[in-house]
Amino acid sequence: MRPGISLIEKFSIVCLLCTALYLIYLSFANVIDILSGKSGEPDNFIINFTLLLIGLCALWGGINLTRRTIVREQLIDTGFEKEIYTRLEPVLEEIAGTQVVINSIEERLNTMNLNIERLGKRSVELKIPGSDPAFGIDISQQISRFLRLVILINFSLILLIFLLNVWGSYAILAFIGLYSVWWLEITYDFHLLQRSSIWAWLFIPILVIPFTTIMGDIFYGNNIVIGCMGIGLVIYVSAYYTWCKYTIEGVLLFDLDNNINTSQLRHTAGKVLMAFPVIFILVLVLQIISVNVYNLAWLPEFSLDQLVLMCILSIFFFILSIKLRHKKKEKRAETI
């Protein structure tokens, strides 16, 4: 830790200056009055003059001590930056680089352990007489997994057809529940419930679906909304499954990890998400103009609840966009 001026020393300097000014204030007027003949008490001249000299000396000493204190702190800071920090900088960079490598190795080990555990649960030991034990795929678990997927696909189609015929205010909750069930199935399949990053994938539909459902129903109607939610479900499931597969096995579908720059993808996604706050601001400005200045018949009327929800989601997208765009800079800094 760098040595510096303590709080007690600084307080002592302030007290010294205050005492010096107080002594000068008490004695200066009396000395001037005696020297000018206005005061008829020459006996107090020596005392007042002595107090005045003490005050002036204390003031000079306090100012000089303050100046030296400031110079000392500047020299300490300059010396630390030019000498100590210059010598420690290579060591600190080496420590930071080592920590990054350790974190990367730890993450890879955790991923490897999850992958081994997942393969162990999917395999079964085969005992063949006269030969060493072998391991194969557990057919019962594969059949159970296949049946779950078939049931989920049928359930998703039935729900979308039901909403197509019976549309109501509960549609938002139905869409969120449908996305959540698929999220739970994929998470359970890859055994990722202990990871905290998976919850971000669950919050994405919870935050996006209300905004898109309300806007789509206002502009295009419920039939278009249901179709878009079905397509969005396919995209969401594919993206989440790909992310889980990359997290556990370290590869993407169809060997896409050899052709895609993930940092560039994050940066592009951040730019796309930045469009949502811009759209909300534009809609809000047009709404204000339509109400107060012009009557824009083509612009739908938004309620206060809808505007508040759009504002909250726009703030979330803005923060997420900044995080994604800054991750590229952090990754580049770690690489350097």
Quickly list DSSP for 308-327: HHHHHHHHHHHHHHHHHHHH
User: Do residues 236 and 175 touch, judged by C-beta distance below 8 A?
Assistant: no
> Does 307 reside within a domain?
yes
| CA nearest to 163, candidates 115, 102, 230 | 230
What pLDDT is attached to residue 42?
Answer: 61
- Given 224, 240, 258, the domain boundary residue is 258
User: If you average pLDDT over every residue of the chain, what do you get?
Assistant: 75
Helix (H, G, I), strand (E, B) or coil at 251: coil
What pLDDT is attached to residue 222?
Answer: 85
- pTM summary value: 0.49
Picking from 54-63, 123-132, 235-244, 299-308, which range would have the lowest pLDDT averaged per residue?
Answer: 123-132
Note the pLDDT tens digit of each residue in 281-309.
887 777 777 666 566 666 667 677 777 77
What are the tokens at 261?
């720059």
- Average pLDDT of the segment spanning 30-41: 67
**Domain extent for 286:** 261-336
Please report, as a single letter, which amino acid is at residue 53: L
Sign of CA dihedral 56, 62, 65, 69: negative
> Does 67 reside within a domain?
yes
What pLDDT is attached to residue 156?
Answer: 92
- Given 258, 290, 310, the domain boundary residue is 258
What are the tokens at 177?
């529940």
> Which range is most confident: 85-99, 140-154, 255-269?
140-154
Burial 173-196 (b: 16+ CB within 10 A, else e): ebbbebbeebbebbbebbebeebe
pLDDT at 336 over 50: no
> Does 238 reside within a domain?
yes
- What element of type H or E holds 188? helix 171-190
Q: What percentage of the chain carries pLDDT values higher than 70?
A: 68
Burial 213-241 (b: 16+ CB within 10 A, else e): bbbbbeeeeeeebbeebbebbeebbeebb
* Cα-to-chain-centroid distance, residue 284: 27
Identify which has the larger pLDDT, 92 or 131.
92
> Does 268 reside within a domain?
yes
- Given 206, 230, 258, the domain boundary residue is 258
> Which range is most confident: 27-31, 53-57, 270-274, 290-294?
53-57
Q: 236 falls in which pLDDT band (50, 70, 90)?
A: very high
